[in-house]
Chain A
Amino acid sequence: MTNCVILDACRIPFTKSDGAYKKLSAVDLGVRCTTALMERSPLPPEKLDGLIAGNVGSPCDSANIARVIGLFSNLPETLPAHTVARNCASGIEAVTTAVEKIRAGSGNVFLAVTTESMTQYPLLMGPQLTNFFKKLGKARSLVQKISIISSFRPGFLTPRITLLEGLKDPSNGMMMGDTADLIARDWDISREEQDQYALQSHLRALEAQEKKLFDDELIPVFTPEGKVISQDDGPRQGQSIESLRKLRPVFDRRYGTVTVGNACGITDGAAALLIASKKSAEKNGWPILAGIKGFAWTGCDPKRMGLGPVSASTALLHKQKLSFDDMDVVELNEAFSAQVLGCLRSFEDSKKVGVPTIEKLNPQGGAIALGHPVGATGGRMILSVAKQLERQQLKYGLATLCIGGGQGGAILLENPHV
């Protein structure tokens, strides 16, 4: 099986929605990463065999966002591009699709770009309003027009909020947060434990920022308002357990334990990665950041989608004949504290592949502090694992996510220089 590697990767700072990036679309964010990555790469753009974008909230004016990003990124017109989606793991999906294409012999080098602008998720007209305008457009005579206008009801104006609808599982009517509350009940995870985990995420992220550990991942963004963003703005200085405790549960107001404090933030961000076959990298003398040893996708109970990482990591590690003891870094996406803790309990319970220790689990903080721009997170996690392995001269790193709708994804990276 063809060995694949990550040549280079970068990301832009992640920012809270409706904030610094509000005038920038998912295309703009993706283009920023792509142009910066190709600017510094020794790889000539003509060598790319394809561009694959991971994105969830497809902007309606940029169908096949991968192609639009490609056309605005000074890349050859001849570069084919397509977009993939697997909810929260769309970022990892972009990378694993590149790997599969390389293994299938469809090319040697691919550019994966993962991008999301949750700020720009639109409001949609409800079906009644849409219908109203359709009929009005078809009306010819003044009488017809008046008759249709008089059929208008204020109720028609209720918009469909795509952000909220996107975070609801249509197969069971549960919001993502409801599934986390369910896992908390299943595994008896207290509110206090969840808040403590959330605090840890912020503290770790703040420490990483202080130690400038994200500097070799980040490229700055120059916004149209004239500001320069060079750091993630999610981690909260002075986040305290008291302030977390004060928050009311947001999904189940009376009996729930999941709050906005112990859940991931709604965020905008993007990342880009160059994936190549090891052979072509060596042949051309391109520097290698990390090797991709394997990946796995699994399906699980949608009502407990947060446990996706359990089935995915178990499948992956089992296939690789490794366990969590062999992992030096584990990035397990923090969609909700409850869900992360639930996974840990489940790993412990099953005893199949061991349990990640608290030290190696999300050592630089996670989505609770940094935010979760759904399509882009996968890119950030892979980049983060690769950089941690490189910086600390460690061998194996695992990135794994839960996926709305009941799936899990996991990818295993190795440091080729150790």
Chain B
Amino acid sequence: MSKIQLEILENQAHLIFDNKESSANIFDTDTLKELEKHVSTLEQNNSIKRLYIRSAKDSIFIAGADIQQIRHIESKEQAVNAAETGQRIFKRLSNLKCYKIAIIHGACMGGGLELTLACDARIASNHKKTKLALPEVKLGILPAWGGSTRIPKLLRFDKALDLLLTGKTLDGKRALKIGLVDACCPPEKMLEVATTFKVKRKKTLMHTLMGVGFVRNYALKKARQSVGRSTRNNYPAPLKILNHLTDHANSPEEISYESEARKLGELAVSSECKNLVQLFLNKESADKDRHWQDKIKKLPDIKKLATLGAGVMGGGIAHLAAKKGYEVRMRDISIDGLNLGMKSASSLVQKELKRRRIKKFEAIKTMSHILPVIDITGFSKVDAVIEAIVENIDIKKSALAEVEATVDKDCIIASNTSSLSITEMATALKRPENFIGMHFFNPVHRMPLVEVIRGESTSDSTVATIVDLTQSLGKTPVVVRDGPGFLVNRLLAPYMNEALRMVEEGLHPEFIDEALLDYGMPMGPCHLVDEVGVDVANKVAHILKDGLGERMKGSSLAAELVSQKKLGRKTGSGFYEYTGKTKECASRFKNHSWTGQTEDIQLRCLLPMWNEALRCLDEKVVETAEQLDLAMILGTGYAPFRGGPFTAATTYGWDKVLQKLTKLSERYGERFKAADNIQQFIET
């Protein structure tokens, strides 16, 4: 089936990307082949003066290369070949004598954007669906179809660096501002503008200055430092991009292309790339998955929400929903409680306004969608309620029962609890089939994961409704079974427990944290305990011990700190001392030792998590290992380039895992005993 149409009328030609088999245009091998064929045709035709390249899709220009094909690259040569193919075809396109204009409306990413860079001019629409980016770095590779060569030549050097290293997305207006596109106009006007458009590019003084040798080198140095700081050099892609720019920003084209291709070869076979691509696919699958919704005859239309509790979570959830256009009643039992929620929502909105991410009217609209109330009579009009009050089962039960009596019989009630049983809470309700867990992560506006927790009585319809709501709110749902700690906290707890035990045994908290930061975690475990709250971590450990057994027992150090009211950041000190923006090791631990191997510290924390992951899969807490990995990466930031706990353990080798666990259980006790199902993973 054809993916590109070539239409020739007199001296104008149109290359229209329209994949009939999909709603998206993607540069898979077939599409590339077809493009090459059309380019050949165009090379033969001398009468064409102007070539327009556009898409027939509603909201996609070309969304990039085929991610599945990147996934299946097995050798360096394969990757180099793929790079060279694209480079060759785009080069031939750019050598065509006619004036080539790309008409960009919708998503124009990666290879799609690289195609337009081979044109003489680019026109983008000012529509909100139009997005331009080179996100290859996020997948562990780099633009290798000429993008890494053409971008530094086209844009001011620092802008080029930014685009390539962060993979950030630009809308039409911003793209015009940095010179990535040459015009930005309403979608209906694009063709008209394109027929007479002739680009006039003027280099500003800043642009020239940025290209000067020592300025460029300085920018590269700064970028390298920044990448080092934020990634601890765990991600090879940004480093290779920097190397390429350092060595080849001024090289002849051919050399630069060859560098691109070579680096693609090195990166595409790396485990980092494989894992990032898998993460991308897993997330996309969870975001777009409709198999729950398809089970239900008629999905309820959710327009009005309510949150119970206006604390950090309640306020954050209310803000999230209000921003997406839902009418949200935010309820608290006290005015000061409501003020807390309103303050957190208001400060989020004001920050976005200051950063020019939103306009004033959007700020007013978001805030006016949040209705702070003490009285719940208005809840009779609500379609779903999300409870986010204090973690106390009796208080929750009574509040939920009170709400159930006011809401419509079809209204869904969800709890944001992080540790209490959904099934147990449902016993307080008359319609337990409409009750479910909807566990957001802190802070709500930044963490993409929502654990959708199915209680024993929760109906399919309720699961489908909440999965749908989660996706509509822009979050990624992972459905898990009700159980202590659900999934994420259950896996996080033993990891944190070991870290605290090591502190108890005399290791320095910073030493432990550094080890895990080096591993690729976003925050060290001791710091994490402080941020979560030592009391919270302690309480969760208790609940997990009661529900799952001795292996989940928390460290006595945590209990001690709680009794001393050293709860972490919220009291100013825990494992660290917090003053303003600075963090210093707490005096009590200052003299702890720094002896030990980094890898041993890492494994000591990670092995119990990996072990617990096996149990979660065995007990079908979550359906698949991919979802388990996805949940841990999105919910805790588990080193994404390692693919998540299950993938990381598989890479390490389950046989080695068993060996290490056995050794550790000999030394430290039962809690390190391997999960019963470990053998089946050793065999595969």
Q: Which residues of A contact B (CB under 8 A)?
A: 27-28, 31, 35-36, 39-40, 72-74, 220, 222, 224, 226-228, 230
Question: Assuming A222-B343, A224-B346, is B371 touching A39 (CB within 8 A)?
Answer: yes
- Is B378 within 8 A of A220, CB to CB? no
- Nearest A residue (CB) for B349: A224
- Is A36 within 8 A of B371, CB to CB? yes
Report the separation of the CA atoms of residues A201 and B355 in the bound assembly, to the nearest whole angstrom.
47
List 19 additional A-B contacts (Cβ < 8 Å) besides A39-B378, A222-B346. A27-B364, A28-B364, A31-B364, A31-B368, A35-B368, A39-B373, A40-B377, A40-B378, A72-B364, A72-B365, A72-B368, A73-B368, A74-B368, A74-B369, A222-B338, A222-B343, A226-B339, A228-B335, A228-B338
Report the separation of the CA atoms of residues A27 and B365 in the bound assembly, to the nearest whole angstrom.
12
Question: Assuming A40-B378, A72-B364, A220-B335, is B346 touching A35 (CB within 8 A)?
Answer: no
Q: Which residues of A contact B327 (CB under 8 A)?
A: 74
In the complex, B47 has a CB within 8 A of chain A: no
Q: Which residues of B contact A220 (CB under 8 A)?
A: 335, 338, 372
Smallest distance from the beta carbon of B580 to chain A beta carbons, Å? 19
In the complex, B350 has a CB within 8 A of chain A: yes
Q: Which residues of B contact A39 (CB under 8 A)?
A: 329, 371, 373, 378
Q: Which residues of B contact A28 (CB under 8 A)?
A: 364
Smallest distance from the beta carbon of A333 to chain B beta carbons, Å? 29
Report the separation of the CA atoms of residues A31 and B364 in the bound assembly, to the nearest whole angstrom.
10
Question: Assuming A35-B368, A222-B346, is B375 touching A40 (CB within 8 A)?
Answer: yes
In the complex, B118 has a CB within 8 A of chain A: no
Q: Which residues of A contact B361 (CB under 8 A)?
A: 72
Question: Assuming A40-B373, A222-B372, is B364 touching A228 (CB within 8 A)?
Answer: no
Q: Which residues of B contact A40 (CB under 8 A)?
A: 373, 375, 377-378
Report the separation of the CA atoms of residues A74 and B377 in the bound assembly, to the nearest whole angstrom.
19
- Counting chain B residues whose Cβ lies within 8 A of the other chain, the interface size class is 20 to 34
Q: Which residues of A contact B364 (CB under 8 A)?
A: 27-28, 31, 72
Report the separation of the CA atoms of residues A124 and B137 in the bound assembly, to the nearest whole angstrom.
53
Question: Assuming A35-B368, A72-B368, is B339 touching A222 (CB within 8 A)?
Answer: yes
In the complex, B336 has a CB within 8 A of chain A: yes
- Is A226 within 8 A of B378, CB to CB? no
Smallest distance from the beta carbon of A10 to chain B beta carbons, Å? 12
- Is A228 within 8 A of B339, CB to CB? yes
- Is A35 within 8 A of B350, CB to CB? no
- Map CB proximity to A onto B329-346 as digits: 1 under 8 Å, 0 otherwise: 100000110110011001
Listed A/B pairs (11) with beta-carbon separation below 8 Å: A35-B371, A36-B373, A39-B378, A72-B364, A74-B368, A74-B369, A222-B339, A222-B346, A222-B372, A224-B350, A230-B335
Report the separation of the CA atoms of residues A27 and B367 in the bound assembly, to the nearest whole angstrom.
13
Q: Which residues of A contact B375 (CB under 8 A)?
A: 40
Q: Which residues of A contact B377 (CB under 8 A)?
A: 40
Smallest distance from the beta carbon of B223 to chain A beta carbons, Å? 37
Q: Which residues of B contact A35 (CB under 8 A)?
A: 368, 371
Q: Which residues of A contact B378 (CB under 8 A)?
A: 39-40
Report the separation of the CA atoms of residues A226 and B377 in the bound assembly, to the nearest whole angstrom.
26
Report the separation of the CA atoms of residues A74 and B321 in the bound assembly, to the nearest whole angstrom.
14
Report the separation of the CA atoms of residues A74 and B342 in the bound assembly, to the nearest whole angstrom.
18
- Nearest A residue (CB) for B371: A39
- Is A226 within 8 A of B343, CB to CB? yes
Report the separation of the CA atoms of residues A28 and B339 in the bound assembly, to the nearest whole angstrom.
17
Chain B CB within 10 Å, residue with most, of A73, A74, A220, A222:
A222
Q: Which residues of A contact B373 (CB under 8 A)?
A: 36, 39-40
Q: Which residues of A contact B336 (CB under 8 A)?
A: 228
Question: Assuming A39-B371, A40-B373, is B342 touching A222 (CB within 8 A)?
Answer: yes
Report the separation of the CA atoms of residues A39 and B328 in the bound assembly, to the nearest whole angstrom.
10
Report the separation of the CA atoms of residues A224 and B371 in the bound assembly, to the nearest whole angstrom.
15
- Nearest B residue (CB) for A230: B335
Smallest distance from the beta carbon of A45 to chain B beta carbons, Å? 10
Q: Which residues of B contact A36 (CB under 8 A)?
A: 371, 373
Report the separation of the CA atoms of residues A222 and B373 in the bound assembly, to the nearest whole angstrom.
12
Report the separation of the CA atoms of residues A35 and B4 in the bound assembly, to the nearest whole angstrom.
51
Report the separation of the CA atoms of residues A36 and B338 in the bound assembly, to the nearest whole angstrom.
14
Report the separation of the CA atoms of residues A73 and B368 in the bound assembly, to the nearest whole angstrom.
6
Within 8 A of A (CB), among B339-386: 339, 342-343, 346-347, 350, 361, 364-365, 368-369, 371-373, 375, 377-378
Report the separation of the CA atoms of residues A226 and B364 in the bound assembly, to the nearest whole angstrom.
16
Q: Which residues of A contact B338 (CB under 8 A)?
A: 220, 222, 228
Report the separation of the CA atoms of residues A397 and B361 in the bound assembly, to the nearest whole angstrom.
40
Smallest distance from the beta carbon of B408 to chain A beta carbons, Å? 13
Chain B CB within 10 Å, residue with most, of A39, A72, A220:
A39
Q: Which residues of A contact B368 (CB under 8 A)?
A: 31, 35, 72-74
Q: Which residues of B contact A74 (CB under 8 A)?
A: 327, 368-369
Q: Which residues of A contact B346 (CB under 8 A)?
A: 222, 224, 226
Smallest distance from the beta carbon of B45 to chain A beta carbons, Å? 50
- Nearest A residue (CB) for B376: A40
Q: Which residues of A contact B342 (CB under 8 A)?
A: 222, 228
Report the separation of the CA atoms of residues A222 and B367 in the bound assembly, to the nearest whole angstrom.
10
Q: Which residues of B contact A27 (CB under 8 A)?
A: 364
Report the separation of the CA atoms of residues A36 and B369 in the bound assembly, to the nearest whole angstrom.
11
Report the separation of the CA atoms of residues A308 and B175 in the bound assembly, to the nearest whole angstrom.
62
Q: Which residues of B contact A226 (CB under 8 A)?
A: 339, 343, 346-347
Report the separation of the CA atoms of residues A227 and B372 in the bound assembly, to the nearest whole angstrom.
14
Smallest distance from the beta carbon of B307 to chain A beta carbons, Å? 14
Report the separation of the CA atoms of residues A226 and B378 in the bound assembly, to the nearest whole angstrom.
25
Report the separation of the CA atoms of residues A226 and B343 in the bound assembly, to the nearest whole angstrom.
5
Chain A CB within 10 Å, residue with most, of B327, B329, B372:
B372
- Nearest A residue (CB) for B341: A222
- Nearest B residue (CB) for A41: B378
